Structures are given as C-alpha cells and as structure tokens.
Amino acid sequence: MQIELIETFLDLCETRSFNQTAERLGVTQSTVSGRVKALEKAIGRPLFTRSRAGTALTTEGLRFEPHARSLRHSWITALNATRDSGIAGVTMRIGVQHDLVGLAIGTLISQFRAALPDTVFFFEADYSAQMCADLVTGALDVAVLYTPKIHPDLYFQTLGEVPYLMVSTHATRLTELRTDSYILANYAPAFAQSHAALLPELTNASLSIGQNAAMVDLVTSLAGSAYVLAPSAQALIAAGQCQLVSDAPVITQPVFAGVTLRNRHRAAYRRMVRILDGHFGSPQPMTAGRSLRMTRNASP
C-alpha cells in the first residue's frame, strides 16, 4: 500500500475538506479524490461521505483511523531506522523553540549525552507549529516548545516557565515610556494574551517581532523599549545598553515537552523529559498525570 494514501486519509480526517487537504499536501483535489478511492478500493469499504454539509467519516472510516495512524508511525520508524543504519547508536531528533536555544543549551546537551551515551543527538531550532507537525510525521522525536497543538497522536508535558522582562533605552518606569518607540513582542499566543491583558495601551505598536534574539538587536539599535527574556535583560542592563522598567509586570511563558503517544512511556523518552523538566525549573517533580496547562502571567 502506498504511504501517500494513508497520509491523505489522515489529513482528510483532520480537515474534513478535500480542497483544504489538497492545499496542505500540495496536490490537486482530483489527486486527493483518487487517493481516497484507491484506499477505499483496497479496504473494500467506504471511508468518507460527502454532502452539502461537508465531508464526514463513515463508521468504517472511524474504525480505520487509529490503524492508519499506527501504519504511518510504523512506516516512519522504519524509514528512520534505515537512515540511521550507518551511525553507531540510535539517533534522537530534538526540536527546540528558538528563544530557548540560548538558555544553557550546552548543559542540557551534556545531560542528555550522560543519560543516553549510545545515542546520537540532532538538535534543531524552530517554532511551535512546525515542531508539532514534525512530531506527527516522525521528523522529530522530542520537541521543547511554547505552543502545543492538540493532536490525537501527541502528548505534551508541562516543564516550567521562562520569564520575560521589559527593558528600555530611555525609561525606568512605565510613565516614562515613549509609546512610539515601543516594540511589541509576539513570542507565542499565551504571551500575547498576557501582554494584552496587562498592558492594553501598548498593544497597538507599529513594530512587532516574535524572536528574542532579534528583539535584543532591535531594542538597542532603534533605541526603544520591549520585553526580552530575563537573561537577555540582565545582559543588556549589565552592558549599560538598557534599563529595567521596574514597574512593568513580569510575563511568564509556559514551556512544554512534546512526544508522540506511542513513545510517551518508553524509558529513553521518559529520561529525556525528566532532564528537560529539571532544566526548565519546574518546582515540582515530574508526574505522569500532570495535565497540560497554559499559565498566563505572574506579576512581581
């Protein structure tokens, strides 16, 4: 069976739209229809019904969906095994949110290597949406991210929070802030919601950016004010480039680890998540039942 048929079926389960699935997969709608028909012919049962109300799974389609996910995962696992065959040990592909790469990543890598000495690690910086997609397809084994995307095949573990502080080249208090030089941070939806709730008067800035490293460069080169990660704020203040806006609220951003449900209870993955949990400062020990939560903010 062609894996493209399974991929198309699973995407259509999510979108319930032949047009949208065609756009997401970069093929024509007729190709999507042809793949669905080929899969239905192979199975011998109809998988979808189409009407003016939209596309829906049949009873047989609902029963086939979990098996299709298992088939896709087995295919990806087999591909990864052949790709790693020339390397000593197992390869673990880990995605890390761009802003978190600078937070003692060397220490984290050392801990991973000590815990799993026969493992080859491949790290890549990315954004949450792409990492969630890569977990589903098997391109990543573990993701450290800001914004989980709920998916039947994925499990997310709360790790902790990272604080963002407001710094300025000219102000030490909010009343001194020049709003025309304020740069709006858009690091993640949870951060944006907290910012809007705490500082609604600063949400209409003419410039916005979603990466901490770029924000550090902008706030100094443009002589403005903005939220940056606490270590970046401390470095800017120590260098005399910025001042802390002392009465601006601290905004905390939750950090999560993501894995597939199939790997959730495997020893190597649990060990890696425990290391991540300690690295990002969770105040309580990891428990298997800790629920996904989105902490909005904390004030000093």
Tell me what pLDDT residue 262 has: 84
**1.10.10.10, 3.30.70.980, 3.10.129.10, 2.60.120.480: which CATH number matches 3-83?**
1.10.10.10
CATH architecture of 92-300: 3-Layer(aba) Sandwich (3.40)
Closest residue by Cα to residue 158 from 284, 53, 48, 42: 284
User: Which residues have a Cβ under 8 Å from the Cβ of 202 and sit 6 or more positions away?
Assistant: 177, 179, 182, 184, 195
Distances (CA, A) of 199 to 77, 105, 194, 204, 225: 47, 32, 8, 10, 13
Secondary structure string (H, E, C) spanning the chain: CCHHHHHHHHHHHHHCCHHHHHHHHCCCHHHHHHHHHHHHHHHCCCCEEEECCEEEECHHHHHHHHHHHHHHHHHHHHHHHHHCCCCCCEEEEEEEEHHHCCCCHHHHHHHHHHHCCCEEEEEEEECHHHHHHHHHHCCCCEEEECCCCCCCCEEEEEEEEEEEEEEECCCCCHHHCCHHHECEECCCHHHHHHHHHHCHHHCCCCCEECCHHHHHHHHHHCCCEEEEEHHHHHHHHHCCCCEECCCCCCEEEEEEEEEECCCCCCHHHHHHHHHHHHHCCCCCCCCCCCCCCCCCCCCC
Euclidean distance between CA atoms 131 and 147, whole angstroms:
10
What pLDDT, on a 0 to 100 scale, did the predictor assign at position 85? 44
Sequence ranges of the chain with CATH classification 1.10.10.10: 3-83
CB burial class (10 A; 0-12, 13-18, 19+) of residue 180?
Answer: exposed
Question: What pLDDT shows up at residue 282?
Answer: 46
174, 156 contact by CB (below 8 A)? no
Residue pair 229/129 in contact (Cβ under 8 Å)? The answer is no
Query: Over its length of 300 residues, how does the chain's per-residue pLDDT go in tens digits?
Result: 588 898 899 889 888 889 888 888 888 999 999 999 999 999 999 999 988 777 899 999 888 988 888 787 777 767 666 655 444 457 889 999 999 988 878 888 999 999 999 888 989 889 999 999 889 888 899 999 999 998 988 999 999 999 999 999 999 999 999 999 999 999 999 999 999 999 999 999 999 999 999 999 999 999 999 999 999 999 999 999 999 999 999 999 999 999 998 888 889 999 999 999 999 864 433 322 233 333 333 333
- Write down the pLDDT at residue 81: 61
* Residues 196, 167, 106: CA angle, nearest 5 degrees: 100
Bridge partners of residue 97, in order along the sequence: 126
What is the location of CATH 3.40.190.290 in the chain? 92-300
pTM of full prediction above 0.75 = no
